[in-house]
Structure 1
Amino acid sequence: MHSLDRATPVVVAVDGPAAAGKTTTCVALAERFKLGYLESGRTYRLIAFEALRRGVLTRDQENLVSLCDELLRESRDQDLLTSDRYQSADLRSPSVNVAVSDVARIEDLRKRVTQLVRLWAERQSRCIVEGRDIGTVVFPAAPIKFYLTASPEVRARRRLDQEHRGSYEDVLKDVIRRDEADMSRSVSPLVPADDAITIDTTTLTIKEVLGRMSSVCESRSVTFS
């Protein structure tokens, strides 16, 4: 593939199911290549957290969209995506893990988040964005796309090691439930982009995954400043 033009904004799109290694590798790539970094799924978790806190039913689509609009009014666009007002433990609690699937399936809400992500990326010269539909919907023309995956059993073990909460059996059930919700929803389902490079991380170390992704980025001239 030809090198990317220096004047062309670069988006590295990374998709995949929960606990496939997206965040760890994306943060490392961002540091290595001096890229802006964004986890789009955090916004859906933030909305789910606020819905639970304010007593808004997560299946009440109209009120959830209104809540999203209210949160946008309360903060600047970029702040909603990168706000440090929320603790990771709160956004990844068991209740939010369940509620976020309902939030993420709402088309009007996804449109708002997609617009915010695109606006954020426009402010970056080079960036890496992770999520579930980044390469298929948010940035379908991204020159570099990855799809990270792993077996549900391995992903459940990783999540348990990270969060130290619940039993392995319960975490595995939640991983499988989230996979089904993400892959079967009618709006922006989780699927690899046709031109994405799929990496199965089941038997790979983080270093090995990072090495493969870095090689692709280097071959497509993400390294220049």
Structure 2
Amino acid sequence: MSEKSGKKVVIAVDGPAAAGKTTTCLALADTFGLRYLESGRTYRIVAYEALRRGVAVEDGRAVVGLCDDLIDESRSTNLLASTRYEPQELRSISVNRTVSAVARIGELRGRVTELIHLWANAQARCVVEGRDIGTVVFPSARAKFYLTARPETRARRRVQQEGRGSYEEVLKDVIRRDEADMSRSVSPLKPAPDAVEIDTTSLSVNQVVDRMVDVCRTRGVAIS
């Protein structure tokens, strides 16, 4: 099977926190010449704009209305591709405090999906990571992956990556977040039926990436 000329390529990568999604997505993007998007960035942009425009995040209807405005704007400017949002702004303390409240608004998830689709429609080839990309956002993605690892392993990785918080505290947060993501009523975290599941607990980054590259090639994704 070979990649058809001009046919869009979307690769979906899902999984819990610290399972290795970002590292492997960036490697796939480099290997196959893909544009990369972390879907969580969309929620951070909404949170940032709510703070900037003085929209109360407790008012779900107001936040949904804000997101509708961002969708209209993105039709002409492709908001998610914009360079206006500095990484340090989207990772600021105020945004970190706000994004959880924004993500809890059930009606917002459909709007976020639309924003991601607007971004992806402008890309010929892309890889998107998140928690419901293969199940909800791109159910027809060319290749789908679900990365996971033991909570203890993911907690150690998070401590090593961020250099803050004790292992015990981070492990509790990882388990709490898993339970919240997997039990939510809207778009719960779970592997798509046709996703390739990879447990990264005892694998190196190169081993995980090599397996993902092999799967992508068998699904007709050409190396750039």
Tell me the TM-score normalised to structure 1 length: 0.85
Amino acid at match of 1:180: E
Residue 130 of structure 1 corresponds to 129
Query: C-alpha distance in 2, partners of 1:121/1:71?
Result: 16
Amino acid at match of 1:185: R
Task: Pick which of 85-94 and 10-19 moved more.
Answer: 85-94
Alignment of 1:1-225 (within 5 A): 2-51=1-50, 58-71=57-70, 79-89=78-88, 91-92=90-91, 96=95, 99-223=98-222
Q: Which runs of 4+ in 1 moved over 6 A?
A: 73-77
Query: C-alpha distance in 2, partners of 1:77/1:154?
Result: 43
- SS of equivalent residue, structure 2 residue 13: strand
Task: Pick which of 165-174 and 212-221 moved more.
Answer: 165-174
State whether residues 16 and 178 of structure 2, in contact with CA within 8 Å, keep that contact through their aligned partners in structure 1.
yes
State whether residues 105 and 186 of structure 1, in contact with CA within 8 Å, keep that contact through their aligned partners in structure 2.
no
How far apart are residue 144 of structure 1 and its match? Answer: 0.7
How far apart are residue 68 of structure 1 and its match? Answer: 2.8
Task: Pick which of 44-53 and 186-195 moved more.
Answer: 44-53
Q: Per the alignment, do residues 146 and 119 of structure 1 end up closer, same or farther by CA in structure 2, a change over 3 Å counting?
A: same
Q: Per the alignment, do residues 122 and 217 of structure 1 end up closer, same or farther by CA in structure 2, a change over 3 Å counting?
A: same
How far apart are residue 95 of structure 1 and its match? Answer: 6.7
Cα deviation, 1:168-203, whole Å, max 9, x if unaligned, reads 222222222222221111111111100000011111
Query: C-alpha distance in 2, partners of 1:92/1:173?
Result: 22
State whether residues 47 and 99 of structure 2, in contact with CA within 8 Å, keep that contact through their aligned partners in structure 1.
yes
How far apart are residue 116 of structure 1 and its match? Answer: 1.5
Cα deviation, 1:138-173, whole Å, max 9, x if unaligned, reads 111112100011111211221222222222222222
Query: C-alpha distance in 2, partners of 1:215/1:65?
Result: 40
Name the Cα RMSD after superposition.
2.6
Task: Pick which of 208-217 and 73-82 moved more.
Answer: 73-82
Cα deviation, 1:17-61, whole Å, max 9, x if unaligned, reads 111111111011101111111111111123334546777554432
Task: Pick which of 40-49 and 130-139 moved more.
Answer: 40-49
Query: C-alpha distance in 2, partners of 1:159/1:90?
Result: 21
Tell me the TM-score normalised to structure 2 length: 0.86
Q: Where in structure 2 are there 5+ consecutive unaligned residues?
A: none
Query: C-alpha distance in 1, partners of 2:52/2:33?
Result: 36
State whether residues 77 and 116 of structure 1, in contact with CA within 8 Å, keep that contact through their aligned partners in structure 2.
no
Q: Where in structure 1 are there 5+ consecutive unaligned residues?
A: none
Amino acid at match of 1:12: I
Query: C-alpha distance in 2, partners of 1:122/1:191?
Result: 25
Q: What number of residue pairs does the alignment pair up?
A: 224
Amino acid at match of 1:82: A
Task: Pick which of 55-64 and 2-11 moved more.
Answer: 55-64
Percent of aligned pairs with the same residue?
66
